[in-house]
Amino acid sequence: MKTTLLIIAIMGCFALGIVDVLQSAKLKDQRHQLEAIKQENQKISDQLEKQSEAIENVKKVEAKAQTLQKTLHESATATVAESKKVEKLQASLDQARTNNPFHAVMDMMNDPELHKILEEQQKITAGPTIEKEYADLFRQLNLPPEQSAAFKDLMIKKAMVGTDVGLAMMDDSLDPTKRGDLTNQIQAQTDAVDTEIKQLLGESNYQAYQNFEKTMTDRATVGEFNDQFVGSSAALTPEQQNQMVQALSEVRSNFKWSTGTSPQNASLESSLEGALTDESIAASAAESEQFDQQCLARVQRILTSEQYAAYQKYQKQQRDLQLIGMKMAKQMFNSKSQ
């Protein structure tokens, strides 16, 4: 009986071993299948990632394409606009070449809105300019604040005299008589403001003002020349500036100009239309150089060698600008006879 039970037990254990082996084999096979599934999933995941990147790249390319298309559209629109501007400008240039080259400028100047803007701008800039150019006179007169403010207002008013008339004189359709009438109109307005200034200042201060006015051209010359040295060791001292103004003023008062288009004239006269010729311009340029040479001889004792060389260069630049201005004026006033 015991032997039978032992055999049964052994057979049971053997059966369990077989089951265990079968289970282990099944589990191993399932692990292989699971590993294969994981690998397949990884491949799918990699493919999905690549596809996502590809989709994202496509989106970027589409966005860039849209941006490029927008840019091209805007560029095309801007090109059309610029083309219209060029056509308009070309038309203006063609008209200017056909007629007087200053007609385009005159058309702009006759625009009421633009004219108003220019007038307001001149008022804004006139104040600081007068403050700078007449600073020495203001200190000399030492007027009470209220009187000083009224004096400056009158000087701004005087600076504004002839703005409208000056623009009107650019019209080449004016004959010599009308141009002369406009010049007289400017002089009358200037004299009227001078009368107001005299009444405000009194006889003594008005005389000091007149004396100062006589040196304004030379003060402006010295100031403009000295501006290029501001902040450097070559800057003119106050004493040098005063001496230079005095020297230039004396040369100017003694120099005899033979032409009617010299810098000595404060404005264009009615005879300018006939006076501006190649010969008169050349004669004026020669006299300007003579005048500058006399000025150089006087200031050589006042300036250092560096300042003297710079002043020679400054004189040449001013003469060149003056010559260009006279040639432009000749072209404007004499265009009808060409």
**257 Cβ contact partners less than 8 Å away, ≥ 6 residues apart:** 264, 287
Report CA-CA distances (Å) from 228 to 218, 237, 299, 317. 16, 14, 17, 13
pLDDT at 60: 64
In tens, the pLDDT along 19-46 reads 454 455 555 666 666 666 667 667 666 6
Examine the pLDDT at 2 and tell me if it is beyond 50: no
Question: Among 34-48, 117-131, 215-229, 319-333, whose mean pLDDT is lowest?
Answer: 34-48
SS3 assignment, position 200: helix
pLDDT at residue 319 is higher than 80: yes
Report the first-to-last Cα separation within the chain, whole angstroms: 152
The model's pLDDT over 272-314, given as tens digits with 9 standing for 90+, comes to: 445 578 888 888 889 999 999 999 999 999 999 999 999 999 9
Whole-angstrom distance, CA of residue 206 vs CA of residue 219: 19
- The residue whose two tokens read 């589409």 is 62
Q: Span 137-155, mean pLDDT?
A: 92
For residue 120, the model assigns a pLDDT of 75
- CA–CA dist 1, 7 (Å, integer): 10
Rounded to an integer, what is the distance from CA 11 to the centroid of its chain? 112
Q: What is the C-alpha separation between 238 and 236, in angstroms, rounded?
A: 6
Among 205, 204, 195, 169, which Cα is nearest to 184's? 169
Q: What is the DSSP letter of 337?
A: G
**pLDDT grade, residue 111 (50/70/90)?**
low
Token couple for 235: 């800057």
Listed range (12-16, 50-54, 151-155, 176-180) with the worst mean pLDDT: 12-16
Q: Which two tokens stand for residue 317?
A: 């630049």
